[in-house]
């Protein structure tokens, strides 16, 4: 009975770990380290995509994710050891930006394969006794791993099964697909696995980026033994023209991309942390404040160039509006959403002779029916003196509806102004950028209070195309009307 129970448990564990990469990772992580692998939704997404790779459904995969979020553990160490469990003859090339990293990962794969728990389930996977090197080692079945840097030499080794004749290749592909549909795995052939192809500190060097990109074209991609051999490229985005960006531009439509920003958005536009176990939302917002360029690249997979932000120095902030300010006026500037993807941006602020102090911001993609009420409540609550509404499409109707709701709330004094802005938006934003930095003061915690607004402002590019300009456009409008409503001033 004991033997039967042991055999049943052995069969279950063997089949369970072969069934999916996630099962494999969880089982062997606990066996190796004596603790559970903390699984999050992004780990599941990575594993599901790599399971599709193993089934032959996709061959070119790009995974963009922050450092220390489990990608190397799953997509290198466990992916390769899982593939060897499915087929001991499978072959892998593993590349990273440094030899040390690549060799450490190769040693990590060996550590799993040689562990007693792995050997108990997959005794057929044996590393050849004369394969002592981290750089290149083989299984007794003819599989193995070659690990080096992206700038290193890869000779005498290819990833995946060797190409067959075209007719035979097509037949084998169809056969694999049919057998996989009924749960029979014919043996995964291996893959080319690239993890962090360039050192983050080198990403702003055009020469180093171009060297890696050219090497991919001339050498790296040719180290696969078959057109069916998958290529897996993963890591944080480091620059718009890093290897990921380069391939997306030069091989459009060929890559399946899984991008996992650390700050996620729900269907209502609310923000939440991708992996609270690692970083809470408040921690991520703090990190963004400390270094927005690095954060956008490493954590958000949004590779903005370091030198290109329009607002190139910190915004002024305040804790308490100075009591010595003279002749203040409470104002609002609203830029309505002209198109479906635009944000409504409405800012309440106190204007003095020398500065503007932001007191509240409404920044949303909600429908106009919702934003009319939200804007009315905000300007009424802040007892605004002058509310100025800019729009080229529907702004007059928006202004009338907001004014109507404010009057119904009992404020008969507030003045509303609607106007059409006909000047070039981008020229206005650019030429007024220094004035915005000089005159506008935000509350000290403004980036935490209005994170979407802060992100759009701080990452607005001086050159090139920006996805949105609603926040900079509103700030520009505020300074354009600075000092033009003196007759409306009231005391604080």
Residue 454's domain spans which residues? 316-488
Tens-digit pLDDT profile for residues 311-364 = 878 899 999 988 766 678 999 999 998 666 789 999 999 999 889 999 999 999
Domain assignment present for 270: no
CA 249 to chain centroid, in Å, comes to 18
As a whole number of angstroms, the distance between CA 68 and CA 287 comes to: 15
Q: What b/e string do you get for 21-58 counting C-beta neighbours within 10 Å, with b at 16 or more?
A: bbbbbbbbbebbeeeebebbebbeebbebbbebbebee
169 and 45 in one domain?
A: yes
* Residue 371's CATH number: 3.30.420.240
Task: Give the SS3 label for residue 363.
Answer: strand
346 and 241 in one domain?
A: no
Query: Average of pLDDT values for 212-229?
Result: 87
Pick the last residue of a domain from 260, 295, 328: 260
Residue 16 pLDDT > 90:
yes
Tens-digit pLDDT profile for residues 64-81 = 999 999 999 999 999 999
As a whole number of angstroms, the distance between CA 111 and CA 176 comes to: 30
343 and 222 in one domain?
A: no
Residue 175 pLDDT > 50:
no
Domain assignment present for 409: yes
pLDDT-based confidence at residue 170 (cuts at 50, 70, 90): low
DSSP 435-446: HHHHHEEEETTH
Domain assignment present for 298: no
Residue 296 pLDDT > 90:
no
Neighbouring CB atoms inside 10 A of 161's CB total: 21
What's the number of domains the chain is made of?
2
200 and 99 in one domain?
A: yes
Query: Average of pLDDT values for 369-398?
Result: 89
As a whole number of angstroms, the distance between CA 448 and CA 182 comes to: 51
For tokens 């956008």, the residue is: 296
Pick the last residue of a domain from 260, 276, 297: 260
In the prediction, which pLDDT does 27 show? 97
DSSP 37-80: ----HHHHHHHHHHHHHHTTS-SEEEEEE-TTSSHHIIIIIIHH
């Amino acid at each position: 009975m004991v033997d039967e129970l042991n055999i049943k448990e052995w069969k279950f564990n063997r089949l369970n770990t072969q069934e999916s990469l996630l099962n494999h990772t969880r089982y062997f992580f606990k066996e190796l380290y004596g603790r559970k692998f903390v699984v999050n939704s992004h780990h599941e997404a990575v594993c599901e995509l790599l399971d599709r790779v193993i089934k032959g459904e996709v061959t070119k995969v790009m995974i963009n994710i922050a450092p220390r979020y489990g990608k190397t553990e799953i997509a290198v160490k466990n992916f390769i050891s899982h593939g060897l469990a499915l087929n001991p003859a499978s072959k892998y090339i593993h590349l990273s930006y440094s030899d040390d990293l690549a060799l450490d990962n190769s040693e990590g794969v060996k550590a799993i394969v040689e562990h007693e728990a792995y050997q108990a389930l997959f005794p057929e996977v044996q590393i050849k006794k004369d394969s002592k090197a981290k750089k290149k080692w083989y299984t007794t079945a003819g599989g193995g791993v070659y690990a080096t840097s992206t700038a290193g030499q890869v000779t005498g080794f290819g990833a995946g099964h060797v190409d067959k004749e075209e007719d035979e290749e097509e037949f084998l592909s169809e056969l694999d697909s049919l057998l996989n549909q009924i749960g029979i795995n014919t043996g995964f052939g291996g893959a080319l696995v690239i993890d962090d192809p360039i050192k983050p500190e080198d990403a702003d060097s055009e020469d180093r980026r171009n060297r890696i990109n050219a090497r991919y074209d001339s050498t790296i991609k040719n180290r696969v033994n078959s057109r069916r051999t998958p290529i897996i490229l993963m890591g944080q985005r480091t620059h718009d023209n890093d290897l990921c960006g380069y391939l997306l531009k030069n091989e459009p439509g060929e890559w399946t991309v899984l991008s996992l920003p650390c700050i996620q958005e729900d269907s209502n536009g609310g923000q939440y942390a991708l992996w609270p176990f690692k970083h809470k939302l408040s921690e991520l917002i703090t990190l963004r404040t400390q270094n927005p360029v690095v954060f956008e690249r490493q954590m958000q997979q949004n590779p903005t160039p370091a030198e290109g932000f329009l607002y190139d120095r910190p915004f002024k902030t305040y804790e308490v509006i100075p009591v010595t300010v003279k002749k203040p006026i409470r104002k609002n500037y609203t830029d309505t959403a002209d198109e479906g993807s635009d944000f409504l941006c409405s800012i309440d602020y106190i204007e003095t002779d020398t500065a503007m102090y932001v007191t509240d911001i409404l920044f949303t993609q909600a429908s106009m029916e919702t934003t009319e009420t939200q804007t009315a409540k905000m300007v009424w609550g802040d007892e605004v003196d002058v509310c100025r509404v800019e729009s080229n499409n529907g702004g007059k109707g928006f202004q009338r509806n907001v004014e109507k709701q404010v009057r119904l709330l009992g404020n008969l004094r507030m003045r509303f102004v609607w106007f059409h802005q006909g000047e070039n938006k981008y020229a206005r934003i650019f030429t007024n950028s220094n004035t915005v930095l000089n005159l506008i003061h935000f509350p000290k915690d403004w980036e935490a209070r209005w994170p979407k607004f802060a992100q759009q402002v701080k990452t607005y590019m001086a050159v090139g195309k920006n996805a949105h300009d609603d926040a900079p456009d509103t700030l520009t409008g505020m300074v354009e009307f600075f000092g033009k409503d003196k007759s409306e001033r009231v005391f604080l």
